[in-house]
Amino acid sequence: MFVLAHLTDLHIGPLPRPRLRELASKRVVGWLNWRRNRHRRHRVEILTDLIADLAAQKPDHTAITGDLVNIALPGEFAATGEWLAAFGQPEAVSFIPGNHDAYVRTAMAQWDKHWDAYMRGDREAATESGPRFPYVRRRDPVALVGLSSAVPTPAFLATGLLGQDQLGRLEKRLTQLGEEGLFRVVLLHHPPHKTPASRHKRLVDADAFRAVLARTGAELVLHGHDHVHALMWMDGPAGPIPAVGLPSASASPDGHHEPAAYNLYRIDGPPGAFTCEAVSRGFAPGATAITELARRSLLPPG
């Protein structure tokens, strides 16, 4: 059995004090929002408790689907490497960026500096040029396929975009990994389906992404962004594909939003007959301790 952990939207605080010139952008809106309410919603002690509970479960691998930072200040990125290391060595932790990690265009230059080892496929040399995404990490019997939907957007927009080139590469990789008989787990930040969130937060090319999966298949899609527990089914060539989202890993249990949680996926069985049990652990609303919240088999409905 292979145990894969998933958590998302860490939104690590507190924010360093910005310089005035660093707020001369979309960041000024995010800074005001953080000062007004988000600093109460995202609490570092909640994230610390979640990491400790996750470590006790001893997963084989951990996937993190974006938003380590809040408004992408240079000082925010400096601490993220230590937080990623708390989950394990780079070969045991896979990360893909979220929209807050690309909050402004200059933020994307920080990715290689702080996260390179967590976003690099197994067969990619450190000096290899070309597109980073999608990357592939094979962890028998699982293949993790990391995408980036993180793009800089104007103020009041949090949309994501994969793009035709990345989708084309994704189709080739998923086809190859399917032929190898691996359990394909696709990682992206934005939900690949319609959600209660407004259009200003959507994945712009979600239809094109789902069309790729309808042709190639995948066994599991993991995402974040909406900060809620979510399970949706997408069309695949051999049956429905589950897409699973989670609340923020730092979300307070005493707020008006779903509290922090993570999932464990227990993957077993031979190719063509895989089984996958999802176990959710986290805080119930108003609770002060982490417990098991739910357990279910991720098999096609019907």
Tell me whether residue 302 is in a domain: no
Segment among 27-31, 133-137, 259-263 with least mean pLDDT:
27-31
Q: Give the pLDDT of residue 61.
A: 98
Share of the chain above pLDDT 90, in %: 80
Tell me whether residue 252 is in a domain: yes
Q: Give the pLDDT of residue 302.
A: 56
Query: For residue 214, what are the CA distances in angstroms to 137, 236, 238, 273?
Result: 22, 4, 9, 19
Tokens 């609490």, residue located: 43
How many residues are listed for the chain in this entry?
A: 302
CB 70 within 8 A of CB 100: yes
Domain with 268 in it: what CATH number? 3.60.21.10
d(CA 174, CA 172): 6
d(CA 248, CA 277): 21
How many C-beta atoms surround the C-beta of residue 231 within 10 A? Answer: 13
How many C-beta atoms surround the C-beta of residue 198 within 10 A? Answer: 8
Residues 215-249 pLDDT 10s:
999 999 999 999 999 999 999 999 999 999 999 99
Mean pLDDT of 4-19: 94
CB 224 within 8 A of CB 246: yes
For 132, the domain range is 2-297
Question: Hey, is 173 helix, strand or coil?
Answer: helix
Query: For residue 273, what are the CA distances in angstroms to 181, 182, 265, 285?
Result: 10, 11, 16, 37
**Domains in the chain, number:** 1
Model confidence, pTM:
0.95
Residues 6+ apart with CB under 8 A from 258: 227, 228, 229, 247, 251, 285
Reply yes or no on whether the pLDDT at 196 is more than 70: no
Residues 253-284 pLDDT 10s:
987 899 999 999 999 999 989 999 999 999 99
Tell me whether residue 245 is in a domain: yes
In terms of Cα–Cα distance, which of 58, 62, 80, 206 is closest to 144? 62
CB 67 within 8 A of CB 201: no
Q: Give the pLDDT of residue 126.
A: 44
153-170 as b/e, with b when 16 or more CB fall inside 10 Å?
Answer: beeeebbbbbbeebbebb
Mean pLDDT of 17-40: 86
Mean pLDDT of 52-71: 97
d(CA 207, CA 2): 31
Reply yes or no on whether the pLDDT at 207 is more than 80: yes
- What are the beta bridge partners of residue 2? 267
How many C-beta atoms surround the C-beta of residue 109 within 10 A? Answer: 10
d(CA 74, CA 151): 17
Residues 88-133 pLDDT 10s:
999 999 999 999 999 999 999 999 999 999 999 987 644 455 679 9
Mean pLDDT of 130-146: 93
